[in-house]
Structure 1
């Protein structure tokens, strides 16, 4: 079997260092291990190195380009410190359990591919393993390590057994890079979360690098260190634009405009790699960059729908296969996106995607071949792409935008029920964009009815009843101690069994100006001393109220009940709950006023004299 020198070197380093500790081999048997490992591991590394070395962009859909030709270094922040990629790699052996968070389009997946290559080519003997979690449809009774083992070890007669593979992972001899936790189907996300936390807790040497959009659940991953992908600075945006395979004259003109003034005016958009790329596409067609993200996506879609091929200096117009007007195409695409989004489907076999497209066309009463529509999605508007034998969204944010378009059209479905379900995905932007597109519809059909259901409960409570209020309106809270570097313990609140379909928490994303200050961090001086925590845990009834591990505070959990109001009201937590209560009341007043004004102006509009 012929393998690339890069793969041979990678496996040889691994075998040399871990032949004895993991495989129990020594002498001549140890020297032959690298050769033997190629039987099962080389195919995975040959394929993955090739996939990571070349990428497709929103612009270069027809062919992949070398990753180094377009890659701009990623910067991260953690614990108020800025890190470059080398700093991050240096921390891996020491930190071990890492979460990399960032918004949609921030470049997390591209960073993970670049990280995989850096580790594969670097001095470390550990083997990097990159797993795209969106491929996990169901784990069933399988564990994540079993799933990964059978995904990467190919062929019969495995030299490395599943037991040895698990031992290598748990010893830190293999680095698990788990990309896209937020793309895991919702029904298995919590079991996977519990498994990863348990794996880390029971195996302190294991290296886990998990990427995701921001999610409040990570606050309870106590032994993991969170790293945030930083927005691109102006210099990095200009570098990215100049690297993109686009018509040179337009590319250079846009880069100069970004450097001169556009970045300062539209930093929130241009600091995101995906949105910056989309802006380049729309730059020639639209003179201004909109302030609303949904208008920006709309302009990008229109540009892609009507565009000429800007990879060619002269340009030529791409053929469209489905004979549909742009509004018909967009409606069908929005039906396809919402139907797959609610099922948490981000990648498909060809038969699956054709079936979903056919269902969307029937729903929109459009007579068009699903295969023609699919070709347009891949070749003409570049919303989908082929990835090996599968078909995926170019970026998941497209699926979210067109799902929001479907909702905003006031479809003949149970809209309130659909929005209830979508609110369980707080890290996504579907409802936020739908509210921007059609605020009166979303407020009238969903937000106001939900507020009228919840606010009578909110009004029952007053200042000094923090846990009573929180338990009745938000969910069940627990207090867990988090140990800091100086030895002190900081209280960490976690919520479970959320009430009202998580709506009270979700509403803060829709009206952030009314929740200003509510979610600010606790003061640095607000610590619960060790003795108080131990006393509370020891005095609490066992079982349903407390969970205390042997060896002290770390890992302990104190469930909070209304009877804890008396002592909790003296903490800073009580202040935050009170601010939250007042914010909910303010949202109620705001939305009631907004809906009444919409109804009034609507009536006045219809009564206008001819």
Structure 2
């Protein structure tokens, strides 16, 4: 049964009855034949059928519901709002797509080709939506039994098998552990590990180890992991990594139309966007499903469009706080039990968000949230509010938290990051220290979205604390590196590339005599164990790139890489494209071995110009998506920022004399 047919069935007989009918079909055509085929289940086949039927109904009902900030008090399902997203992977050389799969009723084209999939992308691209969609579809099409594991809920001290057994414990029945183990051994499941980036700091290492052990033991099942980019995930070398394709304009418009069933509001918004002279700026929002939905939400509120991310989130907060509930008439505004005004409530939210950021936590049980809110209220002695009223407002009047049983979760991680950035920039008396702490953290990539918000909130501080140290350190390194006599006859363009990429990466080239040897070694990973044990803060070697040649690049990203990414996203003019030819080494023979990319003049690969050029080209070919700093542009901007600092100090000095 395809998605459209299910949608029609729900409209005809209602969601609950439709789910029962779909699950009943799955039991008859998929589950029952499995249970009858295997001797292990002959004594309790009927009981297992009942357990699995109830489990699948619960799973389907939960996955079907779309928790979106656009709709308050209006039940929406994946059938109402889903537009097909696409997964793609690249060749690792020129970012050409190798595989692209549209995740629609033909989703099996992707699932059948890969047993282990890792979906890595930025906030709001639809990772969790894909998990919901795929779990529903495998039931619709009777392919697998889905298990969704929200990793933020898992404790590192508990075995994943026990966590899964708990999911099959129903109100008046449960599947025995041994029966579940037999099904796992046979490969009856597709298991989703959703949201690795939301795992708390203290659980992270243990949970990743538990996942790997579990997957090794139950290797016959299908596995899908979702996350934002995290360094830890580089150890999952046997997973095929995918990203989600950005929405094109028509896909974004199709999503907008779904929000009011192709009504007047969506038509008006699409017309405004189409005729907007600043359409290029809006594309930043329209490529992202979540931001597209928020664009509709803010337009619905006051028919205005924000053109910057910061103003955009500010408008969303204002729209939520002053929202008119459509289910109770356009004049009904949700009362705030806390009696806080929009500014007071925002200040409180910033404190809650900052604690969430510090703990890397987006979900709390009730008591934990009570403790945090109480602590934050006490830090604002000028307000009068009760904790229970604030929590009620957070889930109803200003729904930035969703309640799931006894747990409370930020409606989206990016909202926590927005308000946390507000605390850092507007509330804290340690703003500059917090900037530095994030930039120097071993997990700076975790703070990339927060730093993006902070950059817009405090551009003067960002230029002084993010840009200036970054380019100043690069200039110093650039001028110190490759000064040995051996490099004096080498091409300046080659040296320039080396200096730039070594600023952001630790690199080694593994060269083999044949492509076949390289591919075999890549698949076994045995020869990389020693390399991966070599740690140097956050810049340890942890990633392997193989692109069907005699070479592999093994590298680790330094913090400077993520700062480069942020500054490139902010369109800071300090970058350039590599100005070298990528051909010319086809007939060169060099010895098999490991070649460290550095300016050590004693290294064998640095003593011979042809070898030096070969290594440099191999790095550039493999390292796609890397930004290269331009030395001259960096010097120019450094001088400009120094002048800004001087002029600011002069103004403040004049003020002191008043």
Query: TM-score range, shorter-chain basis?
Result: 0.7 to 0.9
Of residues 376, 390, 408 in structure 1, which corresponds to 2:425? 408
Write out aligned runs for 1:178-577 (5 A): 178-193=193-208, 196=211, 205-215=220-230, 221-244=236-259, 249-258=264-273, 261=276, 264-265=279-280, 266-283=282-299, 288-311=304-327, 314-365=330-381, 366-409=383-426, 411-413=428-430, 414-415=433-434, 416-421=436-441, 424-426=444-446, 428-445=448-465, 448=468, 456=476, 459-462=479-482, 474-475=505-506, 479=510, 481=518, 488-489=548-549, 491-496=551-556, 502-512=558-568, 513=571, 516=575, 535-536=592-593, 563=603, 565-566=605-606, 570-571=614-615, 572-573=617-618
Task: Provide closer, same or farther for how the CA distance between residues 357 and 559 of structure 1 changes in structure 2, counting only shifts above 3 A.
Answer: farther
1:132 is aligned to 150
Of residues 600, 603, 606 in structure 1, which corresponds to 2:650? 603
Write out aligned runs for 1:135-174 (5 A): 135-136=153-154, 138-140=155-157, 142-153=158-169, 159-161=175-177, 165-166=180-181, 168-169=183-184, 171-174=186-189
1:543 is aligned to none
CA distance in 1, matches of 2:323, 2:635: 44
CA distance in 2, matches of 1:521, 1:155: 66
Confirm or deny: 8 A CA contact 1:478 1:494 kept in the other structure.
Answer: yes
1:66 is aligned to 77
CA distance in 2, matches of 1:71, 1:8: 24
SS at match of 1:348: strand
SS at match of 2:125: coil
SS at match of 1:95: coil
CA distance in 2, matches of 1:584, 1:245: 51
SS at match of 1:511: helix
Shift of 1:286: 5.3
Confirm or deny: 8 A CA contact 1:77 1:228 kept in the other structure.
Answer: yes
Task: Provide closer, same or farther for how the CA distance between residues 75 and 581 of structure 1 changes in structure 2, counting only shifts above 3 A.
Answer: closer
CA distance in 2, matches of 1:293, 1:322: 29
2:111 is aligned to 92
Confirm or deny: 8 A CA contact 1:334 1:402 kept in the other structure.
Answer: yes
Of residues 59, 62, 86 in structure 2, which corresponds to 1:48? 59
CA distance in 2, matches of 1:594, 1:236: 41
Of residues 37, 43, 48 in structure 2, which corresponds to 1:37? 48
SS at match of 2:321: helix
CA distance in 2, matches of 1:582, 1:452: 12
Shift of 1:74: 2.0
Task: Provide closer, same or farther for how the CA distance between residues 13 and 143 of structure 1 changes in structure 2, counting only shifts above 3 A.
Answer: farther
Q: Figure out how many residues of one structure are paired with residues of the other and give that number.
A: 573
Confirm or deny: 8 A CA contact 1:41 1:154 kept in the other structure.
Answer: no
Alignment deviations for residues 577-602 of structure 1 (CA, whole Å, 9 cap, x no partner)? 9x978558855763563254144145
The farther-off stretch of 175-184 and 213-222 is: 213-222
Shift of 1:297: 0.6
SS at match of 1:242: helix
Alignment deviations for residues 47-67 of structure 1 (CA, whole Å, 9 cap, x no partner)? 221111222321323243232
The farther-off stretch of 239-248 and 294-303 is: 239-248
Shift of 1:495: 3.7
Shift of 1:471: 7.8
Shift of 1:182: 1.7
- What's the TM-score, normalizing by structure 2? 0.74
2:137 is aligned to 118
Task: Provide closer, same or farther for how the CA distance between residues 457 and 92 of structure 1 changes in structure 2, counting only shifts above 3 A.
Answer: same
CA distance in 2, matches of 1:585, 1:397: 35
The farther-off stretch of 145-154 and 444-453 is: 444-453
Alignment deviations for residues 28-84 of structure 1 (CA, whole Å, 9 cap, x no partner)? x54x65423246544432322111122232132324323212222223333424422
CA distance in 1, matches of 2:584, 2:224: 31
1:550 is aligned to none
Shift of 1:452: 5.9
SS at match of 1:425: helix
Task: Provide closer, same or farther for how the CA distance between residues 582 and 261 of structure 1 changes in structure 2, counting only shifts above 3 A.
Answer: closer
Q: CA RMSD in A?
A: 4.3
2:26 is aligned to 10
Shift of 1:505: 1.9
The farther-off stretch of 294-303 and 223-232 is: 223-232
Shift of 1:259: 5.1
- What's the TM-score, normalizing by structure 1? 0.79
Shift of 1:205: 3.9
SS at match of 2:85: coil
Task: Provide closer, same or farther for how the CA distance between residues 249 and 473 of structure 1 changes in structure 2, counting only shifts above 3 A.
Answer: closer
Confirm or deny: 8 A CA contact 1:215 1:427 kept in the other structure.
Answer: no
Confirm or deny: 8 A CA contact 1:39 1:155 kept in the other structure.
Answer: no
Task: Provide closer, same or farther for how the CA distance between residues 123 and 47 of structure 1 changes in structure 2, counting only shifts above 3 A.
Answer: closer
Task: Provide closer, same or farther for how the CA distance between residues 19 and 466 of structure 1 changes in structure 2, counting only shifts above 3 A.
Answer: farther
Task: Provide closer, same or farther for how the CA distance between residues 596 and 355 of structure 1 changes in structure 2, counting only shifts above 3 A.
Answer: farther
Alignment deviations for residues 565-587 of structure 1 (CA, whole Å, 9 cap, x no partner)? 5356532255589x978558855
Where in structure 1 are there 5+ consecutive unaligned residues?
A: 538-557
